[in-house]
Amino acid sequence: MFQGYRYTRLFRGMAVLTLLTTAALNSAADGHGHHSMPQSPAPDNASVYFIQPQDGQEIDGSDVKVVFGLDGMDVAPAGTDAADSGHHHLLINLDQLPDMTMPLPATDQIRHFGKGQTETTVQLPPGRHRLQLLLGNYAHIPHNPPVLSEVIEITVK
């Protein structure tokens, strides 16, 4: 009897713990079961853009110099949680934008510049390429609203 009572209390305690954990996780989730991430607000006047290359530019050779422009915010390295700041991400030939509420994955198509870089040289094969800039906060999560450039198209010869 005593041992059965102890196990009943143990299982009841585990059930309560499970319910509390589930409730805590659900309170951090949106209506679709996704858990909220630390999005940072973006000022209304914030914009990110390409200084180089220009839309429609034809580039000789596979080395493409890309210079990032940013207005209305400051550049800060990843991990630095400062108001009105972020770091650049270069989107290359993306068919669909990434989830703007989650950390951006680091892939060949989503390049991270978490050290606060404002320019880079990328190697692209010959052909047409679509480039876009997206600012991420200290945790690589796009701001709300996202600070996103227009898509530019370049041709590598």
pTM value? Answer: 0.78
Residues 17 and 88 in one domain: no
Looking at residue 14, its pLDDT comes to 39
Average pLDDT, the chain: 84
Sheet containing 63-71: order of strands: 47-52, 63-71, 119-123
Give the tokens for residue 105: 């994955």
Q: How far is CA 52 from CA 26, 69, 118, 132, 143, in A?
A: 44, 9, 11, 12, 23
Residues 139 and 70 in one domain: yes
Give the tokens for residue 32: 């679709």
Domain range for 30 is 1-36
The predicted model gives 17-42 an average pLDDT of 52
Residues 83 and 64 in one domain: yes
- Which tens digits make up the pLDDT trace of 45-93? 999 999 999 999 999 999 999 999 999 999 999 999 999 999 999 999 9
- Which tens digits make up the pLDDT trace of 117-136? 999 999 999 999 999 999 99
Looking at residue 82, its pLDDT comes to 94
Q: Does a structural domain hold residue 42?
A: no
What's the domain count of the chain? 2
Q: What are phi and psi of 28, to 5 degrees?
A: -90, 0
Give the tokens for residue 62: 């596979």
Residues 127 and 146 in one domain: yes
Residues 152 and 96 in one domain: yes
Q: Does a structural domain hold residue 41?
A: no
Beta strands in 28-109 (DSSP E): 47-52, 58-59, 63-71, 74-75, 85-92
Residues 81 and 6 in one domain: no
